[in-house]
Amino acid sequence: MRWMAGVTMLAMVTGGVGCQDDGFFVGGDPAPPVNLQASYFGQAVHITWELSSGWNGESFRVYGKRLSDPEYFLIAEVTNCSGGQCSYTDVNIVSGVSYEYYVSAVDPSSGLETASQNSVVVDVPGAAAPAVPTGVLAIALDKAVYLAWDANARSGNGFSFYRVYLEEGQDLFLLGETDSEGFLDLLIPNGTTATYRVTAVDENGHESAFSAGASGTPRPDFHGEWIYVYQDQPGVSGFRFQEFDDVDPLLDGDDVDRHFRLEADAAGWWLVPGPGTEIHAQGFVTTSLKCGVAADPGCASLDIAPTTGYTSQDVGVFDQTTYPMRVVGDDGQVHYAAIRVQLLGADQDGNGIMIFDWAYQLQAGNPNLEPVSRPIQLR
């Protein structure tokens, strides 16, 4: 909701507005501006008017005063209008004060002015900003980052929407606006770390301070991958995390380039690390590989891989569980990755098979993939 202007009729007589003793041209050229309006938003008064049918290229002068002042003051001259519409924004205002404005057309040759038929009054409200959004969380996805935050700012009077900013060095760039506690950045490529900050805006355009920063690094993730048990189908029992979806991640279980292979015996199912691979010795029970857009309120995922607790020994594998890994990438450096096991079963021929989702961090040494302790509440 914006503060709309009240209307007061102006006397169309020489000196009738108290700004000058003479010089107003009554009943002739220049044609006066029409449909004068004003409103308050974002710590500024926005004044608009339209060109009359008799407009002949004249410029305009904007006059204003505090409602309690006896006389108007010239505050601006406007020479550019577009599509029959003209505007001026007055930022030299004080909270809790009412202002009155009118606009006149100015004949460039004679200097005579014709005032608008009315003045407009705008009440400037107090400038108390909403609370700063808290709990901002950046969830890295494949070629995207999903942001979620608490609804603390929503409880304030007059809350309207949020603004999401991208931080680059010392600069902040507006990415977009939303009226919910969530935002999806689809413009960030995989392997790039981005830091975001959020503000809250009330119905009068007052903006809160910036939230704490939250960073995310998108990385490839894939769903519904499958792999066979080494004892049943050794040629498709090995797996290597890939950067691109056009490269087959399935390898022979004996291939030295594998990051792991799947085995099974009477004691259970096992993830067997390949050369240079370490698997976290304890998996994390999760409901999804990633809790992103449209996730259930009880969604639990692994957002950041632990930096300790890894082993090069075989690790028992169970379904509905996420296993973080440290693997050597194509660049020869250590990368973090994770798989989430959906199903352990068999194909129609009785061969053991594992269906899983996986994620791979392109930035070496970046663990951005601990379980989420609080559910993400979406509106």
Domain regions of the chain by residue span: 3-123, 137-216, 221-360
| Nearest Cα residue to 124 out of 151, 90, 149, 158 | 90
User: Quick count: other Cβ atoms within 10 Å of Cβ 374?
Assistant: 10
The answer regarding whether domain 3-123 maps to CATH 2.60.40.1180 reads no
Give the Cα separation of 119 and 11 in Å (integer): 10
CB 213 within 8 A of CB 236: no
Full pLDDT tens readout for the chain, 379 residues: 334 344 443 433 333 343 444 444 444 578 999 999 988 887 788 999 999 988 888 999 999 999 999 999 999 999 888 888 999 999 888 888 899 999 999 988 888 999 999 999 988 887 678 899 999 988 888 888 888 899 999 887 778 899 999 999 889 999 999 888 888 888 999 989 999 999 999 887 888 999 999 998 988 878 889 899 999 999 999 999 998 878 899 999 999 999 999 999 999 999 999 999 999 998 999 999 987 666 778 889 988 899 999 999 999 999 999 999 999 999 999 999 999 998 898 887 889 999 999 999 999 999 987 444 333 232 2
CA–CA distance, 285 with 366 (Å, rounded to integer)? 22
Q: Is 234 helix (H, G, I), strand (E, B) or coil?
A: helix
Helix (H, G, I), strand (E, B) or coil at 379: coil
65/87 Cα distance (integer angstroms): 17
pLDDT of residue 257: 97
The pLDDT, as a whole number, for residue 369 is 77
Nearest to 369, CA basis, from 305, 317, 299, 309: 305
Given this model, what pLDDT does residue 194 score? 95
Strand order in the sheet with 159-168: 171-178, 159-168, 194-202, 214-216
Closest CA to 62 of 107, 101, 31: 101
- Do the first three CATH levels of 3-123 and 137-216 match, i.e. the same topology? yes
Looking at residue 8, what is its pLDDT? 42
pLDDT for position 275: 97
The verdict on pTM exceeding 0.85 is no
Q: What is the C-alpha separation between 377 and 298, in angstroms, rounded?
A: 9
Whether the Cβ atoms of residue 33 and residue 60 lie closer than 8 Å to each other: yes
| DSSP track, 314-343 | -EE--TTEEEEEEEE-TTSSEEEEEEEEEE
- Which residues are CB-neighbours of 360 under 8 A, at least 6 positions away? 219, 220, 221, 241, 242, 243, 335, 337
- Phi, psi (deg, nearest 5) at residue 98: -100, 140
CA distances from 283 to 302, 317, 318, 370, 373 (A): 10, 8, 8, 11, 16
DSSP string, 20-70: -SS-B--SSSSPPPEEEEEEE-SSSEEEEEE--TT--S-EEEEEEEETT-S
The architecture in CATH of the region 137-216 reads: Sandwich (2.60)
In angstroms, the CA 67 to CA 172 distance is 37
Report the Cα 271 to chain-centroid distance in Å: 38
Residue 294: predicted pLDDT: 66
What is the per-residue pLDDT for 223? Answer: 87
Q: What is the pLDDT of residue 320?
A: 94
Residue 208 is classified by DSSP as P
Per the structure block, which two tokens stand in for 59?
Answer: 């410029």
**Alpha carbons 366 and 184: distance in angstroms, whole number:** 21
